[in-house]
């Protein structure tokens, strides 16, 4: 299945290597850079798979959110507990993690 994903991230340490993250995103499908750290991805991969692949090249204190606009699902790493609770309470989806 083809998915429309939106990827948003923050690299939180000075001097981070954005190229590793950018290269990984570009390797996962057809892409468009919307803003500095916000991308669109047309891909056969799920939001979970894409998030896990991008997270592999990020640091543990970074933040990542991948939203699947085709299925209305999301997957993330290292969002604050308050944001996670808000998303889980408000998101209109079956599989938010």
| Residue 20: CATH number of its domain | 3.30.70.240
Give the model's pLDDT for residue 25. Answer: 98
DSSP, collapsed to helix, strand or coil, labels residue 91 as coil
Domain that holds residue 44: 3-90
Distance CA 70, CA 68 (A): 5
Task: Tell me, yes or no, whether 97 lies in a domain.
Answer: no
Task: Tell me, yes or no, whether 41 lies in a domain.
Answer: yes
Q: Please, which pLDDT band fits residue 40 given cuts at 50, 70 and 90?
A: very high
Taking residues 9-20, what's their average pLDDT?
A: 87
For residue 96, pLDDT beyond 60 = no
Taking residues 33-46, what's their average pLDDT?
A: 97
For residue 51, pLDDT beyond 90 = yes
Q: What total number of domains does the chain contain?
A: 1
Give the model's pLDDT for residue 92. Answer: 67
């Amino acid at each position: 299945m083809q998915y429309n994903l939106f990827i948003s991230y923050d690299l939180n340490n000075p001097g981070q290597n954005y190229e590793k993250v950018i290269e990984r995103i570009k390797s996962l499908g057809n892409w468009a850079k919307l803003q500095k750290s916000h991308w669109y991805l047309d891909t056969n991969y799920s939001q979970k798979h894409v998030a896990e692949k991008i997270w592999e090249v990020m640091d543990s204190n970074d933040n990542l959110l991948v939203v699947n606009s085709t299925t209305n699902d999301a997957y993330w790493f290292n969002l604050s507990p308050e944001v996670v609770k808000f998303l889980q309470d408000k998101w209109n989806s079956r599989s938010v993690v």
